[in-house]
Amino acid sequence: MKKQTKNWTTSDIPQRNKGLAVITGSTEGIGYEDALALSSAGWNVIIMGRNALKGAATIAEILEINPKAKVSFEKIDLADLSSIKAFASRMIERGEPIDLLINNAGVMTPPNRLETADGFELQFGTNHIGHFALTAQLLSLLRKAQDARVVTVSSIANRNGQINFDDLQSTSSYVPGKSYSQAKIANLMFALELQRRSEKHGWGITSIASHPGVSRTNLLINGAGKWSIPGIMRRFFPFLFQPQSQGALPTLFAATSPEAKGGLYYGPNKMSETRGFPTIAKIPEQANDSEVAKKLWEVSQKLAKVTF
């Protein structure tokens, strides 16, 4: 597989004239690159974010590059379960099958503990619970499609991640990086468990995980802050980070390549998966604990107030 995926680029994305792709957090960063590449390959892309003005600017930018692109914007706040439900209701009323869902949006290491609208720690609540709730509520539309894929974006920060069921919301102790790692290992475990459940229940959905390595996006600056150590590194030492277009490749490979397989994890192929072209990434040992994954699934259903 590594030989097959080496040096894969957006030029390898199969062209198509139909197919609906829904991408969270796609007004900038990795999500924007996903939207640009998929719309250029003929997909009908729904760009999602919290800011409608930003969404309109993103659409204008994509259309300037590709006037034939089929792109639209939908407002959603993944830190608010009511916003997720409202979006899902609009999509269900629309009734169109969803061929591809990319769970990309993320919050990274805010210095102080913040909460979502529903009282979850912001990183766990947005990165994991928000995407868990969204996928559950779009399940019927994913199942209507033929060979639908769900790609959930994790991070190399998951290598240190542990699911702390005694303090999922970091109320006893909030350490920004530790909470982020927990959220990102949760993303990976969700992707793997979704594949197992799809196979068990015959949902016909392929679930794959990916990560972008270390890429030049605004995630560090928007989360930790521009004067944090990571923010300073991002601003003043950009050569340490690969371009966001390169960081998007593992997700795009997982989303479109006939070679991508359900239940696998894709990331960059060089320098301990920090940069390069898409290849199979190493799954941390703790992410393969199916019993923890099952418990996380059940707890997440209760917190998100959804069922699959």
The pLDDT value recorded for residue 111 is 96
**Residues with a known catalytic role:** 180
- Residues (pLDDT < 50) of the chain are 1-5, 221-223, 227-229, 231-237, 239
The pLDDT value recorded for residue 85 is 98
The pLDDT value recorded for residue 192 is 98
pTM, to two decimals: 0.92
Beta strands in the chain (DSSP E): 20-23, 44-49, 70-75, 100-103, 148-153, 205-210, 215-216, 242-243, 265-270, 275-280
Task: State the Cα–Cα distance between residues 285 and 283, nearest whole angstrom.
Answer: 6
With b for 16 or more beta-carbon neighbours within 10 A and e for fewer, the 109-148 pattern comes to bbeebeebebebbbbbbbbbbbbbbbbbbbbebbbebeeb
Q: Which residue has the tokens 């919290």?
A: 50
Task: State the Cα–Cα distance between residues 95 and 20, nearest whole angstrom.
Answer: 12
Instruction: Tell me how far apart the terminal alpha carbons of the chain are, to the nearest angstrom.
Output: 32
Cα 282 to chain centroid distance, Å, stands at 18
The pLDDT value recorded for residue 127 is 98
Token code pair at residue 291: 């019993």
| β pairing state of 265-270 and 275-280 | antiparallel
Task: Name which of 33, 43, 30 is nearest 70 in CA terms.
Answer: 43
Cα separations in angstroms, 138 against 135, 147, 151: 5, 15, 14
Token code pair at residue 2: 């590594």
The pLDDT value recorded for residue 5 is 46
Give DSSP secondary structure letters for 254-304: HHH-TT--TT-EEEEEETTTTEEEEEEPPPPGGGG-HHHHHHHHHHHHHHH
The pLDDT value recorded for residue 215 is 77
The pLDDT value recorded for residue 241 is 74
For the purposes of burial, counting CB atoms within 10 Å of the CB of 259, is it exposed (0-12), middle (13-18) or buried (19 or more)?
middle
Token code pair at residue 20: 């609906």
